[in-house]
């Protein structure tokens, strides 16, 4: 089955600890994204990557880091510098290259999410 | 700065009612607008996407309209069912980017 897999489903972080959230896609999409969702709020963009070995900061990148060494994988590290990490984290992917000059839909497809809590 | 607002924040209706969910955005320079569904504790599922040049899109009992000049979109759900209970999010895509700006969502409860 094609899709986006996020793991783990639940994650607990101790104070001062870095934790890494996994996101893997087998949709052959070029672009991948990380969002944070807090209760009663919409999704906010943390980081995104349009191509392997390149990524851009989103609106709330402080305290987070990413890498894009493979097309299929876009892991997110929540560092100890992120003082309020408790949230629901969502990974998405899209066929960015279909966007330019066409009416292609370029829909973003989402994983099931990882809920991060602080111990 | 693009801001996206959804009204109402929550809605509870009996089964069978026709519903309208509203989404407004402040900057009309968008590429498209998407409506998503999110079940509790789950990821997002794309329902409908409307390109900026389009006025509406339909899928089954769902119909989404877009009035770019006034910065508004509506999601119409016909003959609501308990299985429609979820949070509905709209998101706009800025022109020349693939970044989405999300609204805060409408939490819908349809009771039998």
pLDDT tens digits, A50-103 = 999 999 999 999 999 999 999 999 999 999 999 899 999 999 998 865 555 554
Integer angstrom CA distances of residue B100 from A13, A99, B44: 28, 13, 13
CB contact under 8 Å between A110 and B93, yes or no, is no
Task: State whether B43 and A90 contact (CB < 8 Å).
Answer: yes
Q: For the segment B51-70, what is each residue's pLDDT rounded down to a tens digit?
A: 888 999 999 999 999 999 99
Which run of H or E residues covers position A41? none
pLDDT at A104 over 70: no
Q: Annotate B21-42 with DSSP letters as a single string.
A: EEEEES---EEEEEEEEE-TTS
Spatial separation of the C-alpha atoms in residues B21 and B36, rounded to whole Å: 12
Can you tell me which residue has the tokens 């969702």? A37
Q: How far apart are the first and last CA of chain B?
A: 41
B7 with B20: CB under 8 angstroms?
Answer: no
Cα(A48)–Cα(A60) distance, rounded to whole angstroms? Answer: 11
Q: What residues of chain A lie within 8 A of the CB of B34, using their CB?
A: 107-108
Alpha-carbon distance of B77 to B63, in angstroms, equals: 7
User: For position B11, what pLDDT does the model report?
Assistant: 95
Q: What is the pLDDT of residue A103?
A: 45
How much is the pLDDT for A117? 93
Q: Which of B47, B97, B98, B111 is nearest to B75 (CA)?
A: B47
Q: Greater confidence, A39 or A89?
A: A89
Q: Is A56 helix (H, G, I), strand (E, B) or coil?
A: strand
Q: How many CB pairs under 8 A join A and B?
A: 60
């Amino acid at each position: 089955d094609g899709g986006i897999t996020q793991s783990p489903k639940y994650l607990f972080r101790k104070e001062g600890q870095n934790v890494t959230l996994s996101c893997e896609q087998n949709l052959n999409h070029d672009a991948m994204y990380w969002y944070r969702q807090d209760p009663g709020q919409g999704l906010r963009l943390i980081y995104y990557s349009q191509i392997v070995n390149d990524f851009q900061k989103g609106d709330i990148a402080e305290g987070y880091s990413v890498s894009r060494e493979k097309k299929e994988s876009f892991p997110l590290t929540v560092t100890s510098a992120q003082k309020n990490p408790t949230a629901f984290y969502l990974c998405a992917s899209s066929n960015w290259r279909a966007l330019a000059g066409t009416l292609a839909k370029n829909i973003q497809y989402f994983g099931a999410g990882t809920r991060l809590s602080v111990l | 700065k693009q801001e996206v607002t959804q009204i109402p924040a929550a809605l509870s209706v009996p089964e069978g009612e026709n519903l309208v969910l509203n989404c407004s955005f402040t900057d009309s320079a968008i590429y498209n607008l998407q409506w998503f569904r999110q079940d509790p504790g789950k990821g997002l599922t794309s329902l409908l996407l409307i390109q900026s040049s389009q006025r509406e899109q339909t899928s089954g009992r769902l119909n989404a309209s877009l009035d770019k000049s006034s910065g508004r979109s509506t999601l119409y759900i016909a003959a609501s069912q308990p299985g429609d209970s979820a949070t509905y999010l709209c998101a706009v895509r800025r022109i020349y980017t693939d970044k989405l700006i999300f609204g805060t969502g409408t939490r819908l409860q349809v009771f039998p």
